[in-house]
A = this chain, B = another copy of it.
Amino acid sequence: MILTVTLNTALDITYRTAALTPHATNRVAEVTERPGGKGINVARVLAALGHESVVTGFVGGRTGDALRELLAAEGPGGKAAHAAVSDSPVTDALVPIAGTTRRTIAVVDETTGDTTQLNEPGPTVTPAEWAAFLTSYEGLAARADAVALCGSLPPGVHVGAYAELVRLARAAGRPVLLDTSGEPLRRGIAARPDLVKPNADELAQLTGSREPLRATRDARRRGGRAVVASLGAAGLLAATPDGSWRAAPPMAVRGNPTGAGDSAVAGLLSGLVERLPWPERLARAVALSAATVLAPAAGEFDREAYADLLPRVAVTEQSSQPEQESHATRQHR
C-alpha cells in the first residue's frame, strides 16, 4: 500500500464557458466536480497503475462530504461518470475537521482553451485536529510501502509539519517522498526525505539557482537523498545516490499541464515500490506526465498515449563532472 498525504484537500470544480469575459456575467455551460489536492491526484494515478493506495489529510464541511462521496465513487465498481474509475482501490483515511474543505474553480474558456483558476483559502486546522492526524498518520505510515507528502499546508498547521511527517516515516523505516514548496519544502528537505520532486520554480526558490543541474545537486546537499526536478516540457532531471539522469519525452506535447507533476510523482513512487532501476522509474514518470498533458480531462492520463510514449522516453546519464565544477565554483565564492 502507498500512503499519500494531502493536508490541504480541495473539491476541484471545473466550469466550461464559451468565453470568460471579466467584469461581466458569464454563463457556465458545464460543471464537473472531483476530489482534488496533489496527494489525491497522485493516489488516483497510482490506482490506475494497479497500486493500492490510501489517502489521508483533512476533510470537513459540505464540500468535504462531497469530496468523500466522489472519492468513493471513483474506485472499482464505483459510479463516477468520468474516466478515472480505477483498477485498484483508493482508500479514504481522511481525518474529519470542523472547518470546511476549500473549493478550487478552474474556468475553462472554450474559445481560447485557457484556464482561469480561483483557489479558496483552506480551512484552519486546530491543534487537536493536528494531533488526531498525527496519531492516524503514524499507524498508516507503519504499514505503507512508501509515503508521499504533497501540496500546500492549510492555515493552522505549523510550517515544520512536513519535516515532522518525514521524520515519523523515516523512524518507521518507510521511504518518503516530499512534493511541496516554499518554507515547508525548505524545512521538510532538512529532515532528509528519500525523494523530493520540486518543479523549476520551487527548486530555484529553494536553492537560489536557475541552473537545474546545479540546483538539483544543491537540493541533495540540503537533505534530499534523491532529487527529481520536473522541468516542464524538458522532462525530468534526477540527482540520486546511484547517479544523475535526464529523462525527456520523445516530442513536445501540447495540452493541459494540470496534474502532470502529480502523475510524475505517481510514476516515481510506483517505480520505487516496484524496485525499478532509476532510468525505468524516470521513463515511467515522464511518460505518465506527458500522457496527462495529452488527456482531455485535467489531471487524468491517456492510457494509450502512456503505452506509446513509455518505450520512447530518452533517459541519458549525466556525467559527474558538473558536480565537481559546482563544487569548485562554491570554493571560489
Chain A residues engaging chain B, CB cutoff 8 angstroms: 15, 17, 20-29, 31, 62, 65-66, 105, 107, 109, 112, 114-121
Contacts and interface: CB of A to CB of B under 8 A. Distances in A.
A68 to B, nearest CB: 12
Given A20-B22, A22-B22, 9 more contacts: A15-B120, A21-B116, A22-B109, A22-B116, A25-B119, A26-B119, A27-B119, A62-B66, A105-B105
**What are the 3 tightest A-B residue pairs by CB atom distance, in nearest-first order?**
A23-B114, A25-B117, A28-B120
Nearest to A107: B118
Most buried by B among A27, A28, A115: A28
A60 B186 CA distance: 46
Contacts of A109: 22-23
Contacts of A120: 15, 28, 31
A121 B27 contact: yes
Contacts of A115: 23
Contact of A121 (B20, B28, B62, B117): B28
A62 B107 CA distance: 21
A62 to B, nearest CB: 5
A121 B23 contact: no
Contacts of A20: 22, 116
Given A20-B22, A22-B20, A22-B22, A118 B28 contact: yes
A246 to B, nearest CB: 28
18 contacts: A15-B120, A17-B118, A20-B116, A22-B114, A23-B109, A23-B114, A23-B115, A23-B116, A25-B119, A26-B119, A28-B118, A28-B119, A28-B121, A29-B121, A31-B121, A62-B62, A62-B66, A105-B105
